[in-house]
Each structure stands twice: as C-alpha cells, then as structure tokens.
Amino acid sequence: MDSKRPLLLQSPRTPNDQYIPTIPVFPELPKSKSSSSNTVTFSGVEFGQVENKNSSNSSSSSKSSMSIHSMGSSKRNNSVREMSSLNHSGSKSTVRYGSKGGGDSEGLTMSQRELRDEDARLVYINDPEKTNENFEFFGNSIRTAKYSILTFIPRNLFEQFHRVAYIYFLIIAILNQLPQLAVFGRYVSILPLAFVLFVTGVKDAFEDWRRHNSDKVENNRLATILMNDGSFIEKKWKDIRVGEIVKIKTNETIPCDIVLLSTSDPTGVAYVQTINLDGESNLKTRYAKQETGSKVQPRYTGLIKCEKPNRNIYGFMANMEIDGKKLSLGSTNIVLRGCELKNTSWALGVAVYCGRETKAMLNNSGAPSKRSRLETRMNYEIIMLSFFLVALCTITSVCAAVWLKRHKDELNLLPYYRKLDFSKPVVEDYKYYGWGLEIFFTFLMSVIVYQVMIPIALYISMELVRVGQAYFMIEDDRLYDEATNSKFQCRALNINEDLGQIKYVFSDKTGTLTENKMEFQCASIRGVDYSSTNTSTENELGEYSVQVDGKILKPKMKVKVNPELLQLARNGVENVEGKRIYDFFLALATCNTIVPIVVDTPDPDVKLLDYQGESPDEQALAYAAAAYGFMLIERTSGHIVIDIHGQRLKFNVLGLHEFDSDRKRMSVILGYPDSSVKLFVKGADTAMFSVMDKSHNMDVIKATETHLHSYSSLGLRTLVIGMKELSTSEFEQWHTAYEAASTAVFGRAALLKKISNHVENNVFILGASAIEDKLQQGVPEAIESLRAAGIKVWVLTGDKQETAISIGFSSKLLTRNMTQIIINSNSKVSCRKSLKDALERSRKLDAVATQIALIIDGGSLVHILDSEHEEELFQLASLCSVVLCCRVAPLQKAGIVSLVKKRTSDMTLAIGDGINSSLDLLQLVNSLQFIFY
C-alpha cells in the first residue's frame, strides 16, 4: 500500500446511505429565499425550524441500532445504566421479513431519541476528566478470554457437565464411594471420568491461554494521544479514555471508536479498511467536519452528544457543538475500532466509545461453547436410557423386596442376608439394615451394576474420531487454497459431524457462486444495442491514457470495447447520437462513489489508476467509461474532474444520494462548467422504469426492456441509466429542502428519503449496461455433487429473473428435464392464486416423480412472508428439487432461511450476505464428501 497515494477525494457521505455535499456558490444561482422562514415545504413534506442553515456539510441520522449488549461491573453502575437505557421501549420489535425496508416511523423515532439528553452520551473533546466526571466510562482494555484463574475450574466444569452423560458418570462414581454400595474399587471408578474432564480441561485452558496472550498484546499496543499543550505522548491502548484525542498514522489500526476531527487531507477525507469488521477489503471513506478540520490542533474544544453504545456498526447518531455551531454527525464521521487507516498520512479523532463499549466488542459475544446436533441428540438419548435404567433398577429392587419378604424367617441361615454371625464366641450382627433400607441399597447397587448400559468409552471414542476428522480435513489437498496459501481450518472440534447432516444449503450468488469480479460487456444506449453481436469485428481491449504532470496515467484494468461504439464516442457531440453516447458514459464515470488511487509501476513515467469502491459493479462501470475515453482522474469534496478524449472538464458535485436496498438506485447532481445542473441516476430496471418520463420515451423504453431481457438471458447483471436536467428553481428547491432535512429535529432519515425520491422522478432514459460476473471454478460440479447427495440447494439472489435462470443453468442448479414453476405476482390476490395453482400442480408432478424447480421473485415474497401463506410456500418448496429466489433483499433472504428452520428439524447451512464463512462452495462439497463417504 506504500506505493499508492490518493489522487482524488470522495465527497462526504452521510449515514443511512445518504450524502451531504459541500454546496459551492454559483453566481448565476440565487440564494435560497426561504432561509429566513421557520418552515420549509418540499413535495408536500413540511420541515420544522431549521437549525444551523449555514452548515452545508451536515449529516443525516442513521437507522436504528440493533439490540444492546449491556455489560459492566458493580463499580460502574452509572455506565451500565447508561448502556441499558438505550432501548427505552423495553420491548422486542418483530422482524418483518416480507417488508421491503424501513418505514418513516423509524427515522422519526431515531431523531427523537438522538436529541434526548437522558438517552445521550456527552463527550467533551480533549477533556477526559470532565467527560468521565459524572459517568465513569469503561476504559479501553478488552478481554476476549473466557476464563480467569479463579473461575476456570468451576466454569469449565459447569460447561463440561452440560453433557448429561458426565452427570450420570458422576452419580455412579459418588454411589461407588459408599461402603454399602461399593461394587468396584472406590478410586478406580473415578478415574475414567476424571481423565476425560482433565483432558478436556487442559485443551480448554490452552485455548483460553492463547486468548489471554492475544488480549495482552492488544491492550499493550501503543497509541499517540494529543495533549492540551499541543504535544503528543504515547499511551497503551488499555489506558485510553473517552474524550481523549487520538492520532492515527497510515496503516495503523484504530484503537477505539473515534469521531474524526481532521486528517492529513485538507478536505478532511480518510480512507479506511474494514476487513476486520465486515470482511470487505475495499477502501471506504470517512470524513472530518470542515469546521474541525481547519482548527489548530491543540485548540480542539467542544461537546459531542452521541447515542449510547450499541452493536450497530453501520449506524451512528450524534451532533457536535463547536464554536457556537451545532453540526450533525453520522456513520461517515466515525471510525470503528479494528479498522485500518489506508492511503492517509494521519488522522485525528476523539474517543467516544472505548474497550467493551466499542461496536466491535459489543458484537463479540465471546468464545461460544458449541455443541453439535449429535451431541444434543446423545443428551436426549442418555436421558431416555436413564429413565429405562431407573425402571430396570426399580424392578430389581421390587423383586428383592418380594424375595426378602418370602425368606424373612430364613435370613439367619442364608448367606449375604444372615442377621447373626455365630462363627465367633460372641454372636455379632451382620450389616443388615432392615427390610426397607435393604431394598433401597439394592436399588442403588443395581444402578452401579447396570451402569455399563451407558459406557463412558463412547465419549472418549467420539473425541478421538473428531480429532481424526479434523486432521484429515486440514490435510486434505482438495481443501487447500492456492490463492491465499492457506489450508482448511477446523476451529471447533465439537461440530465436525454437523457437516454430514446438512439437508438444506442456502447460498447467495454474487461472491459465493461467482467470482465477484465484474467485467463490462455491452450497453444499450437510447434503444440501440451496442453488443458484440452487432459488429462484424471482435471486441478489442480498450487502453485509454492521459497525461497528468508529465506522467502517463492509465486505468489499472483493461476492458473489452465495441469498436463501433468506441468510434462513435470519439466523434464527440456533433450529432444527436453522439450527444446521447456522451451523456451515457458521463453518467457511468460520475454516478458512483469510486475513489481513484494512483499506483506506481516499474516505469517511473507510467502510473496506473486503481478505482477503489465499495461496489464491484461501480468499479466495472468506471473502468468501462475510462476505456471509452471518459476517464475519472480527480475527485474532491466539491468537484469531479473527467478527462473526455483529451479535454479535461470539471464538474461540481452538488449532491449524491447513494444506493440503498429500498430505492434500488443512486443519483448524483452535477454542476456543469456552463452553470447548468443535471441529475444522473442509475439503478435496477424495476426501480428505474418506475421513475422514467414516459411522455415521449416509450419506444426507447420498450427497446431497452428488450435488450435487458436479452442481456439477462445471457446471465449478465444489468443497470438502467437515466438523466434529468434541473432548472434553477428545482435545484434551489432541492437544496433548501435537503439542507433543512439534514438538520431536522424529527424524522431526519425519513425526510431525506422522501427528498431523494422526489428529485429522482421524471427521468430521461439514457440506456442500460450489462456486466458479467463469472462463476467460480468448480461451482457446477459442486452443486451437482450436493444434489446427488440428497441436499436441497436454494439460491437467493438480488438479480432479475432472467439472469437468475441463466446462472441456474450454467451452474447446473437447473436442468432441462426439470419442470419450472415461476411465481412473480405483483399483488396479494394474484400471488395467493399463483401460489395455490403452483401447489396443486407440483403435487401432481410429484406423484409422477417429476423434478420441479421453483422460481419466485422478491415482489411475491413481500406478500407471502409474514403472512398466512408462509405454510403454503413451505409445502410447495418441500416438493421442489431446487428453489431459486430472485430480486430478493437481504432481509427477505433471512426470512426464507427462517421459513425453513421454523418448520423442519433438518439442519440448514446459509452462505453469504452477512454469513461469514471460511468455506467456499467447492470446499464445502469436499468436506461433505469426506463426512459422507
């Protein structure tokens, strides 16, 4: 990473996937006339009094946090009370899997809670003493170890005795210590159980010792702290307190959750890598407020009012009071513990959450005690056997009672039960305890005699088998990953056998079945299809370059270009067709959140542009635009510079609404050099066609829909591109409303969403793009093996139906001899009818042993999940060999998995969309084959 340096800076973004721009002043555009008014109305939405209208870099509030993990000690009751009071409602909310997204009420509730003093944490910048005066916040020391010296023995024994068999063997050993019941040697009976407990305890102690060492290393790392006199001192991580200002240097890890104050970049941008939090290696951008970024370092004073510690790593709600101004803070202004600073020389931030209160630690539930389904089943079986043993011993004791009663007069003459001993001069009593106690002791002795019914050797054998399984899986060459030079890792020996019991595999497509390496393939521009089939010559690799400061600058990735389209793009805007192509590729180059990074090459005169972004789709489109001569070379907090066939143009970034799963589109508002303002939008076809201006675009829309269907049938990912020119009044209306919403007292998130929906309306269609995401090597064979083993494979993807079906055939999920049942209804009534018809048809096909493939889209699932039709969907899916869900949101994916888990005892495996799995599909199959065969 040292060879890279940031060439351009991304404009500030706000939480909840929104964007707050730095609004440049246009002489031609009059200032808002509504700034003196107390109320602003925009598209029927009325805003309350606007606080801080002069702050153009305000951030919106984020979504609701997840449930709070309250922790603490008796010495810190105030801090514990602060954390536990976050969820003041005290009730658990019901997850609606069928819904498409959060409602307006969420934004209202969160904004209300943000401003309530009793629900806020007060952090005095660079004043840890005052910050901790009323509340003794947690220090920055962390602990991931499970045991301590004092708690190891009791806690480890408690966990081990979750195995019912161990309790059983302990009872047997205790009974054998009684002289009246000793069937075997007293101490010999303890040895097997003691040996098993000792070996398991040593293993657990070793694992926890490694955690302690890791915690010690982490807590003793050094961080740089800013003092009041402007000097810096080094402190151990564990000694950092809330309110202190921390300085982070490039490639260093963030020691606690910090709100950025300034960075080495004059615009306040910082690049971070969050791979330790969410597994994503792409760089993300975080921002310091301009009001704090321009201050002299030792003079940082102010107050941050933020939400209580919570587990939501994607949201942060706060505001900052500094120099008499009140600034909104969001998720783009906070950097979480565990992130790494990249391509930024340094960054300063104030600690707001430390130690166990950081979002990373609140999401760390500690080292779990995992138990396989086999072990759970064995506990059940042992309980059943114990009841049988009790019944058997009861029968034995009853029979003994009958025998004693019948022979009570002969007991002096019989061995074992003789009452008197006449072998000595003095007659002595034998150890005969009477009829009642003899029956009781008979029962206990029977327990000891019949104990072999549950052998302890079974557990020893199981542990040895698990160790053997882990060894063979780790050493299996087929599970070796050459790319990372790493072997298969078996982190929990207790659940190996669960791999062999999986009945359902739920997998997303992108990144799991596919490589997640997007390649631009073709485009449809204003109803004209520019794909490789329309030209006689083969596509060639585009290699566009520009000169910057005497250096040749090239895109890092080459893209296949259509020669005809490339020539038309080079011709400029001399005709109508050229103007349409110009706008299309300008939209690809600007409507994104790409961060270009300059990478050195062996040739000192040649530099490469590496487009970094959170979405590989955006990267592919930016590289495609560069290949056709629209090269993004610079971005700051207020403008973008695009080199268009040698002509460098600067566009002011007036606003950007990022992609979210609700709107399924994103947009950017650009100010042109001639002072005109245009809106570029891109998104999914369903979301885009609903906002298109259909008054005079119907022919183009129909042609584009035909091309989209053709691209999707080839398994390509598609996006629709649109544009809209904003008048001065429209822009001023949006600007004023956006500024008001970003500082609104109530319902901030909901208002921002309504503003973006309003401006992204009556859009002029430019065209569509098609991107290929190739299958990973071995995926078709893997799915074929899974299905041959009797495992049902469900693929859940956000792609459109045609793309999903095409990928289904190429991955061998679907076959030609399968009967496809497709449900893609738009209303509740039609969905109910389609589901009923599909269920009747599938029962008939199942009766004649026909393989069935169910294909259902997210729109239908909206009407099915969380309704009375869930059971019918499960019955239908149970009759199908394959289920393919398309156009589904992440929450719907969770709902589908929950649908199956609630209605069957079969074991399920979910991969992707938040399920951090070290197995790719091919590794999974090899593991399953090992267990099965």
* Contacts with 59 (C-beta within 8 Å, 6 or more apart), sequence order: 12, 14, 15, 20, 327, 328, 329, 330, 332, 333, 742
Annotated binding site for Mg(2+), which residues? 508, 510, 913
354 contacts 235 by C-beta, under 8 angstroms: no
Instruction: Using alpha carbons, list the distances in angstroms from residue 893 to 279, 509, 674, 875, 900.
Output: 19, 12, 47, 18, 11
Q: Is 633 helix (H, G, I), strand (E, B) or coil?
A: strand
Dist CA 509 CA 516 (whole Å)? 9
Q: Which residue has the tokens 């794909």?
A: 531
Which helix H or strand E contains 753, and what residues bound it? Answer: helix 748-759
Dist CA 355 CA 365 (whole Å)? 14
513 contacts 921 by C-beta, under 8 angstroms: yes
User: Nearest Cα to 588, choosing from 563, 564, 565?
Assistant: 565
How many CA atoms within 13 Å lie on the side-chain side of 898?
A: 13
Tell me whether strands 852-857 and 45-47 are parallel, antiparallel or unpaired: unpaired
Backbone angles phi, psi at 734, to 5 degrees: -65, -45
User: Nearest Cα to 800, choosing from 854, 859, 757?
Assistant: 859
Instruction: Using alpha carbons, list the distances in angstroms from residue 429 to 346, 407, 416, 567, 741.
Output: 91, 18, 12, 116, 96
In sequence order, what E strands does 9-152 have? 40-42, 45-47, 120-124
Residues 505-514 as b or e (16 or more Cβ within 10 Å = b): bbbbbbbbbb
Catalytic choice (508, 610, 617, 866):
508
* Catalytic-residue membership of 699: no
678 contacts 723 by C-beta, under 8 angstroms: yes
Annotated binding site, which residues? 508-510, 618, 659, 682, 717, 797-799, 887, 893, 913, 916
Instruction: Using alpha carbons, list the distances in angstroms from residue 554 to 473, 567, 611, 622, 647.
Output: 44, 19, 11, 13, 16
User: Nearest Cα to 933, choosing from 775, 785, 767, 757?
Assistant: 785
Backbone angles phi, psi at 648, to 5 degrees: -90, 120
583 contacts 651 by C-beta, under 8 angstroms: no
What DSSP string runs through 778-821?
THHHHHHHHHHTT-EEEEE-SS-HHHHHHHHHHTTSS-TTSEEE
Total Cβ atoms within 10 A of residue 462? 16
Catalytic residue ranges:
508
